[in-house]
Amino acid sequence: MQRVKNFNAGPAALPRVVLERAHTEWFDFAGSGISVLETSHRHKAYEALQEDAAARIGALYNLPASHTVLFLQGGASSMFATLPLNALGGGRAARYIVTGTWGEKAAKEAAIVAKLLHEPAPIVATTKQATGWAYDRVPSHGAFEGVEGAAYVHVTTNETVDGVQYASNGASSLPPVHAPLVADMSSDFLSRPVPLGAYACAYAGAQKNAGPSGVTLVVVEKAWAEACRKDIPIIFQFRTAIEHRSLYNTPPTLGIYLVREVLRWVADAGGLPAMEQLAERKAARLYDAVAQSHGFYTCPVSEAARSRMNVVFRLPNEELETAFLTGGETLGMLGLKGHRVVGGIRASLYNAVEEGWVQELVEYMNDFRAKQGH
């Protein structure tokens, strides 16, 4: 079987070894004689699997004992609502630093919840540009000043649609934030080391770097969660998931099984530093191809904020972009179409995207450009 070169933004490529192992164990999970699909979430073998997955995330990130890992459902989008439901209170507004399409959605949801709870509306700072590529940068560190007293500060570490990411260090990284820091890390979770102990909460839909859709990964500071609201439905309170070790109700067991396999793969491959180096190598190849194209390919994102996970670029016109996508598909390159809101080309380079695929994409880009006489 020929595997396509999968550049999808999510659900996205999974490591082949993970799929193979799931295939091998399909009828017999942990020697139990039944599939994990058929196993009770109260079964010891399943509980051990889920504990192991949580412990592996903790180990990869060197998570301090003050924090814990939760497996929730509803995707990152449901966190857009459950976060303010939990964390707004006492008349304190939340701050949203919006650097892209997903942050915009998160802030919108928070405004609805704030109204519902009779709490102040979130204060939104956005980098949105009036013309051209709407989100092309991260803010300067100054944008994070004066946040003391905020309910929390929300950021999106990697904007999947727009191709904008905070750097790991330097002027385009996140500065220390003097309020509870909450991050949507959906599309760069597990892609680089991050001091998660400095975050009140970090969350991610699993379907990019961590596994299949259906699992929402949440890392939360236990004391912060305990101080959150108690007058919202029990199922939505972070403390409920903490108290019940994400087993208050039936978790997405198959998804968590696959997440655990991905976590094994990440550890075997050298952990988060290795994932970061891999991402840097792959992204550098693509951005170099853009830079060396004499303006045929252009990246609309400012250099310091270019994502290592979702590389966006444009061709001289939309007809050429369509031809580029069609040609790519005939070569088995899938998922290169930019998000419908912004257009253009987007290559998602999550952990399981192989370096060889990126090399083939670069070769195709060079061939395509040459054929246009560039």
Residue 76 in contact with ligand PLP, rule: CB under 6 A: yes
| Shortest Cβ 307–ligand PLP spacing (Å) | 10
Instruction: Please tell me which residue in 133, 136, 162, 184 is annotated as part of the active site.
Output: 184
> 3-state DSSP call for residue 13?
coil
Comparing CB distances to ligand PLP, the nearer of 82 and 186 is: 186
Residue 300 in contact with ligand PLP, rule: CB under 6 A: no
For ligand PLP, which stretch binds (CB under 6 A), given 29-37, 75-83, 134-142, 231-239? 75-83
Residue 184 in contact with ligand PLP, rule: CB under 6 A: yes
Residue 205 in contact with ligand PLP, rule: CB under 6 A: yes
List Cβ neighbours of 295 (8 Å cut-off, separation of 6 or more): none
Instruction: Please tell me which residue in 162, 188, 208, 337 is annotated as part of the active site.
Output: 208
Length of the chain: 374
Residue from 32, 35, 77, 240 binding ligand PLP (CB under 6 A): 77
Name the nearest CA neighbour of 117 among 86, 148, 96, 95. Answer: 86
Say whether 26 is catalytic.
no
- Site residues for ligand PLP, window 84-113 (CB under 6 A)? 102
Residue 10 in contact with ligand PLP, rule: CB under 6 A: yes
For ligand PLP, which stretch binds (CB under 6 A), given 111-119, 139-147, 183-191, 233-241? 183-191
251 within 8 A of 240, measured Cβ to Cβ: no
Tokens of 56: 């592996």
55 within 8 A of 65, measured Cβ to Cβ: no
Name the nearest CA neighbour of 100 among 128, 124, 140. Answer: 128
How many residues line the site for ligand PLP (CB under 6 A)?
A: 11
Residue 186 in contact with ligand PLP, rule: CB under 6 A: yes
Q: How far apart are CA 222 and CA 324, in angstroms?
A: 48
Name the nearest CA neighbour of 61 among 263, 207, 282. Answer: 263
The verdict on whether omega for the bond into residue 11 sits within 30 degrees of 0, i.e. cis, is: yes
Site string for ligand PLP, 131-170 (x = CB under 6 A): -------------------------x---x----------
Residue from 86, 172, 187, 237 binding ligand PLP (CB under 6 A): 187
Strands annotated E in the chain: 5-6, 67-72, 95-98, 123-126, 153-156, 158-159, 164-165, 181-184, 201-205, 216-221, 310-313, 333-334, 345-348
Q: Give contact residues for ligand PLP (rule: CB under 6 A).
A: 10, 75-77, 102, 156, 160, 184, 186-187, 205
Residues catalogued as catalytic: 102, 184, 208
